[in-house]
Structure 1
Amino acid sequence: MRPPRIAKYPPPEVVRSPRIEALRAGDDGDVEAFWAQVAASGTPLVEPRDGEPDHRTVTFVWRGSEATREVVLLANKLTDPSVWEASTLEHLDGTDVWHRSFRLRADWRATYQLAPDDGSGNDDEITGPPSRWGAAAARAVSDPYNSKTFGSRYGDAPHSVVELDAAPPQPYVAPRPGIARGTVTRHRFASDILDNERDVWIYEPTRAATDVVVLLDGEDWATRLPAATILDNLIAEGAIPPTIAVMPSTVDNATRWRELACSEAFVAFVADELLPWAARDIAPQRTTLAGRSLGGLTALFAALHAPGRFGRVLSQSASLWWPSETDFDAGAGAIVEAYARAEGDVVQNTRFHLEVGLQEWALLARHRHLRDVLALHGAPLSYSEYHGGHDAICWQGGLADGLIALMSG
C-alpha cells in the first residue's frame, strides 16, 4: 500500500527570473561573473516581484557540463512527476547555466535536491515520469551553492533547505545556552502484543514530569530531528510543563507500513505495554500521542480506538488518503468518516492539534474536512496550515507549536 498518485494541483507557477533574463540578454556580465555572484550569495536565487510584496521569484540553478543532458529538481511537494516539465531545469543556450524559476509565497519553507543526468546511467531505458522520478531521486544530491542542509532519514544525500524571508520562525529547534538539559536514554523493548522488539528512546526532563508525549517514528525524532532540544527549550521557557518523551522505533519500513496504518494491535502496544512501562504514573488526560504522516493517521485512529487513554492528539500531515491507493477521490476518507460517525463525548474528551502543508495537494482538503467535523463535535481543537509540503523541516517547528497549543492552559 502506498499513497495515491494524483496529479499535482494546482501546478507550480513557473516564471522568468530577471537575473537570468539579464544574463540571457548579456546585460549581467559574463557567465563566470554570474557564477561568482552565485557562490557569494548562495542559492536558490530570491528576487522581489513588482507589485507583489507577499511573493518572491525563486530560482534554482545548476552548473552543468558538456555532458549534462537534464537536471531534475526534487523540491518537496513543489515539483512532482505529474508536472515533469516544470520539475526539470531549463538550459540557458551557450552557457553552463541550468535554471528554473517559480512564483512562491514569501513564507515558503522546504527541502530539496537536484539530480543532474550526465548520461552515465540507464535512464534512457526508463519510461514514464514516475519511473524517471525514481531514477532521479537515486542520483540526487544537495545543492552545492546552498550551505544549509538537512539530514536524510534514510541515510542518502542530505537535502538542501530553502526558507524565504517570511517563513514562520522556529525558535525552539536550536540549542540555547545556559538552560537545563534533559537526558535521553536508549532501551530495547519487547512487545508481547506485536511479537517483536524495537529500540525506544526516553527523554526525561531535569524536573519531575507531569506530562508525557509519545513521538511515533521515534528513531527520527531521537537522531535526525531535535526532539530533546525542542523539549529542553519549551520546558525552560515554561511554554509546556516538564514532559517525558517516549520515542518508539518503527523497526523497519515494512513494519512501519503495517503498524502505522490503523493497527488495533499497535494502539494496544502503546496503550497497554509502552506507556505503563515508561510513564505509569502520568494520567491519560496528560498524555499526548504525536505523529506525522502515517504516524498522524495512527494518532487519530488511537483516539477513537482507545477513547480516554490519550487525552491529546498531535497530528501532522496525517495520511488521510488511507486506505485507498486508487479510489482516492471517492468520499472523505476512512478516518474522517469514522470521526463523522463518532459519538460526541468520545471526541470531546480529547484535545486535538492538526497541521498540514498548503503544498500537500492530496491531503489539504481532507484535513480541512476533518477540522470541520471535529469542530461540529465540539472537540477542543487547534488547527494550522503552513506554506510547505510533506516535510520534516516544517514538522520540527510544528511539533513545538502543537505541544504549546495542547498543553497550555
Structure 2
Amino acid sequence: MPLLRQTREWVDRFGSTHQELSPTVPPTFSGTSPRVPGPIEQAWSQALSVGGEQAARQCGDMAVIALAQPNPIITEDPQGNPDMRLYTWVVESPGATNVLMWANGVFDHAHVHDSEMHRLEGSDLWTLTLRMPADWRASYTITSWDHDGVPPWRASTDRAEVRRAAMAHGRLDERNIGRVMNSSLVEGPDAPADRWGRASQSICTQERTLAGERFWVYAPDTDETTPLLILFDGQHWNGPLGLPLQLDAAIRAGIMPPVHVLMLDSGDVDHRWDNLGVPGGQVDVLIDAILPHVRANFAVSPRGEDTIISGASFGGLASLWALALSDGDIGHAIAQSPSLWRFDIADALSAAENWVSINLQAGEYEGEMLRLSHKLAEDLSGDIRDVRVQGIRGGHDWAWWRVHMLSELTRLLNHSK
C-alpha cells in the first residue's frame, strides 16, 4: 500500500456526500508489553547458578520436556488470575544471533526487544513468554537472524519499515500444530471453540466474472432455497481458509442450516484500497449486478432478511456500506475490525430503513478499531434495530475473523429457522 494517499469526497448511489476522514491506516498496537520472565527461562537460570554436572542434567531434562510439547506451552498465571495464562515458546535455532516472534496485535515496532526471544545459555534453544488472556487467539511467525550485525527490524525507527522487516522472513513454527493463512496459530484454552472442520471430499465452487469483478459461489447439497452469505476478500475464503469445505462439514453435521455463499475477489492492494470500504466501488457492483445475478441463477432467498454480508478491515467497512446502500436487499452485517477511521457511516446507516441487524466485532489489540465500533453503536443507539459490539481478545487477524464470523453466521441462521 502506498505510504501517501489523498482523501477524497465520495457521492453514493443516492446522491449523499461522504468525506474520507484519513488517508492512512492507524497504528494497531496499544497497551504495554505482555512479555514476562518465563518458567523455563527462570528455571534454566537457577540451574546454571548451581553449576557442575547437576546443572547440565537439569538443563538437559528441561530441554527434553520442553521440546516434547507443542508451542506454545500454556501454564497457569503465577499471579493467580483465572482469566490469564502464560504462553511460552521454545524454538531450536542453531547459529542464530537473534530470534524474533511476530505475534499479531502484540508486536510493537517501538519496542522490538519485547518480541525478541531469549537464548538459553549453553544451548541452541530460544524462548519467549507472554502473559495473555486465556481466551486469546492470534497468528504469529518466527524469524531467525543468522548473521553478524544488527537485525533488519532493529535498523529503522519507521513503523512500516520495522513491521515489514519483522514479517519479511517469518516462517511457520514447526513445533506448532495450528495454521491460519501463512502463519502459525496460538489459541488459549478458553478461546471460543473452532467447531468447523473440513469435509472429507473436495468441494467445488463456481467461479464467475461480472462487470469486471471476479467471484465464487458455494452451493450446498440441498434442493431447498437457502439464505445467502456475502463475503468480501473472497479469494482468501475460497482459497487458503478453505471455507467451502468447513461449511459443507458443518451443514452435514447439523451445526448450521444450508446456506449459499457469494465470495467476492478484492484484487490486489491498490484495487482493494480504491474499491473496497467506500460508498461505491465493489459495493455498487454487488448491488447492481452480482447480487441480482446470484439470486437469478442459484436457489437463494430473495429476501433481505435472509441475506447476510460480512468482511474484515476494509471488508468490514464495505459490509456496512452495503447494508446502508442496498435499500433492503441485504438485512444483516457481520462487520469485523471495520475500518471506521476511514469514514463516518452512522448517518448513512440511520437513514437506511430496511436493514435488520449489525454485529460489530473488533480486537482488543488493534488500536482504535474497538473504540470506533463502540462509538458507531452509540451513534446508532436511538435506532430500535439490533446493533451489537463484540470485543475479541485478538489483533487485526484472520486467526479470529474466521471463527467469529462462522459463530455469528451460525447464530443468525439458526435463529432464522
| TM-score, with length taken from structure 1 | 0.84
After the TM superposition, which parts of structure 1 deviate over 6 Å for at least 4 consecutive aligned residues?
none
* Cross-structure match for 1:165: 189
* Cross-structure match for 1:10: 31
One-letter amino acid of the structure 2 residue matched with residue 402 of structure 1: E
Deviation at 1:382, TM superposition (A): 3.7
Q: 1:201 aligns with which of 199, 205, 216?
A: 216
* Cross-structure match for 1:315: 335
Aligned pairs for 1:347-358 within 5 A: 349-358=355-364
Does the 8 Å CA contact 2:181/2:398 hold for their aligned counterparts? no
- Is 1:118 aligned to 2:146, yes or no? yes
Does the 8 Å CA contact 1:203/1:244 hold for their aligned counterparts? yes
Aligned pairs for 1:126-275 within 5 A: 126-128=155-157, 130=159, 131-152=161-182, 159-171=183-195, 173-175=196-198, 184-191=204-211, 196-198=212-214, 200-207=215-222, 208-236=224-252, 240-275=256-291
What is the rounded CA distance, in whole Å, between the counterparts of 1:3 and 1:75 in structure 2? 22
* Cross-structure match for 1:404: 410
One-letter amino acid of the structure 1 residue matched with residue 385 of structure 2: A
* Cross-structure match for 2:294: 278
Deviation at 1:123, TM superposition (A): 4.7
- Is 1:26 aligned to 2:54, yes or no? no
Deviation at 1:97, TM superposition (A): 3.1
What is the rounded CA distance, in whole Å, between the counterparts of 1:116 and 1:182 in structure 2? 36
* Cross-structure match for 1:392: 398
What is the rounded CA distance, in whole Å, between the counterparts of 1:347 and 1:87 in structure 2? 48
Aligned pairs for 1:375-386 within 5 A: 375-386=381-392
One-letter amino acid of the structure 2 residue matched with residue 251 of structure 1: G
Q: Alpha carbons of 1:15 and 1:261: their partners in 2 closer, same or farther (altered >3 Å)?
A: same
Does the 8 Å CA contact 2:90/2:128 hold for their aligned counterparts? yes
Q: How many pairs are equivalent?
A: 379
Deviation at 1:245, TM superposition (A): 0.6
Does the 8 Å CA contact 1:347/1:374 hold for their aligned counterparts? no
Does the 8 Å CA contact 1:182/1:228 hold for their aligned counterparts? no
Deviations 1:294-329 (A, max 9, x none): 11110111222233121111111112222xxxxxxx
Q: Alpha carbons of 1:166 and 1:355: their partners in 2 closer, same or farther (altered >3 Å)?
A: same
Which consecutive unaligned segments of at least 5 residues does structure 1 have? 153-158, 323-333
CA RMSD in angstroms comes to 2.7
What is the rounded CA distance, in whole Å, between the counterparts of 2:74 and 2:258 in structure 1? 41
Deviation at 1:210, TM superposition (A): 2.7
| TM-score, with length taken from structure 2 | 0.82
Q: Secondary structure of 2:68's match?
A: helix
Does the 8 Å CA contact 2:227/2:306 hold for their aligned counterparts? yes
Does the 8 Å CA contact 2:325/2:352 hold for their aligned counterparts? no
What is the rounded CA distance, in whole Å, between the counterparts of 1:7 and 1:294 in structure 2? 14
Deviations 1:317-364 (A, max 9, x none): 112222xxxxxxxxxxx23xx31x347462563311221112222311
One-letter amino acid of the structure 1 residue matched with residue 311 of structure 2: G
Q: Secondary structure of 2:177's match?
A: coil
Percent identity at matched positions? 25
Deviations 1:122-162 (A, max 9, x none): 8569422532331231111111222333332xxxxxx1111
- Is 1:62 aligned to 2:91, yes or no? yes
What is the rounded CA distance, in whole Å, between the counterparts of 1:383 and 1:229 in structure 2? 29
